[in-house]
Amino acid sequence: MATHPMEGPHWSFALGFYAKAGVSDACLLLQDRVGVDSNVLLFALFAAAERGIALSPADVRDIDATVAAWRGDIVLPLRRIRRRLKDGFAPAPSAATQALRARIKTTEIEAEQIEQAILADWLERRYGRRQPGEVNPGAILQTVVDHFAAETNPPFDVAISFEVQEAMKTLLRAL
């Protein structure tokens, strides 16, 4: 159970960064093409930009493992239902299903906020209040994308995907 507050700098960063021009589309592309967990991505960028902590590939594997069950059992099923209601089978979309979809979206965001709190707990346990260091956000972003790309079957070749490269550039510009 996450003991970190649901609200805090980790959540404020995620909301603020996600709201920047092009960021949500870039995150969704990475999520849909490469299987990136946007919460892990946003959190790794928070650790870099706000805490000056460069998560290593082992750190990314560890945080992914820490939230994998929550993501798989809670966040992803909510997302699938919400997306299915957007343009799914009858009676969707309709006024009634759009209202249901909106409630599910709110629940999905709350589940993502819980995931962010779990990640904030991990960061506190792993790094505490150590002094920030020099961080290369591009390297952190690449580490996260590479981690999830390696998990696809077959592994996704990030280097040859123009769309993925452009999404990553969008995220870096937004930082």
Asked whether residue 82 is assigned to any structural domain, the reply reads: no
Asked whether residue 145 is assigned to any structural domain, the reply reads: yes
pLDDT of residue 2: 52
Structural domain span for residue 144: 9-65+116-174
The two structure tokens encoding residue 60: 């990314």
For residues 39 and 14, is the Cβ–Cβ distance under 8 A? yes
Asked whether residue 30 is assigned to any structural domain, the reply reads: yes
The two structure tokens encoding residue 76: 């992803």
For residues 17 and 141, is the Cβ–Cβ distance under 8 A? no
List, for residues 74-122, the tens digit of each pLDDT value.
Answer: 999 999 999 888 877 777 778 888 889 899 999 999 999 999 999 999 9
Task: Please tell me the total count of domains within the chain.
Answer: 1
Asked whether residue 79 is assigned to any structural domain, the reply reads: no
How does DSSP classify residue 91?
A: T
pLDDT of residue 4: 61
- Please give the mean pLDDT across all residues of the chain: 90
> Is it the case that residue 139 has pLDDT exceeding 70?
yes
Asked whether residue 134 is assigned to any structural domain, the reply reads: yes
Asked whether residue 89 is assigned to any structural domain, the reply reads: no
Asked whether residue 42 is assigned to any structural domain, the reply reads: yes
| Numbers of helices and strands, H then E, in the chain | 8, 0
> Is it the case that residue 152 has pLDDT exceeding 90?
no
Asked whether residue 2 is assigned to any structural domain, the reply reads: no
For residues 151 and 35, is the Cβ–Cβ distance under 8 A? yes
List, for residues 14-53, the tens digit of each pLDDT value.
Answer: 999 999 999 999 999 999 999 999 999 999 999 999 999 9
User: What's the CA gap between 175 and 172, in Å, rounded?
Assistant: 5
For residues 5 and 38, is the Cβ–Cβ distance under 8 A? no
